[in-house]
Amino acid sequence: MGEAREVMDRLTYAVTRHADLKVVADLYAEDAVAFTPDEGELRGRDNIVEYWRTMTEAVPEATFQPLHSYEIGDTAIDEGIFSGRNTGPLELPNGETLPPTQKEIRIRGVDIATVRDGRIVDYRLYFDEMDFLGQLGLLPDEPF
């Protein structure tokens, strides 16, 4: 196992059942860049850690079931199922906060992390945001 795989595995552990934002912060370079479906581009460690804070508070007992794990050079790639119950407030990109829905979620996604000198410098997260919102019961019953 190479450095990228080890760092990605530590990140996954730090944002699931045993959420530890200090570990998350230590895993990202100060000038890291991340891309997420719900927040778009995030620049800098502090903004990325804030993103993970909102996710770990919204789904504090989350688990990750890996389906595929790869490492190619300085990049680790995971595909898996993120699941848990929304028991915490969900902060929206517009600054509004939604109360917990108490609904179970199960979202398939892909994470890609490029690592240099033991820290993530580029991170990409892909998941179906509409599926996520639908599972939380936040979409209208009628089609658009």
Q: What is the structure's pLDDT at 94? A: 77
Region class of 139: left (phi > 0), else alpha (psi between -120 and 50), else beta: beta
pLDDT of residue 95: 80
CA 96/CA 20 separation, integer angstroms: 24
Q: Would you state the pLDDT for residue 141?
A: 74
How high is the pLDDT of residue 138? 83
Q: Check residue 40 and give its pLDDT.
A: 93
Report the pLDDT value the prediction gives residue 142, as an integer from 0 to 100: 65
Q: Please give the Cα distance from 142 to 110 (Å, whole number).
A: 29
Phi, psi of 71 (to 5 degrees): -140, 125
pLDDT means per 10 residues, the chain with 144 residues, are 96 92 98 95 97 94 96 98 96 84 97 98 96 89 65
Whether the CB-CB separation of 65 and 81 falls below 8 Å is answered with yes
pLDDT of residue 143: 63
* Cα end-to-end span (Å), the chain: 47
pLDDT value of position 92: 76
Q: Is 82 helix (H, G, I), strand (E, B) or coil?
A: strand
Element (H, E) at 9: helix 3-14
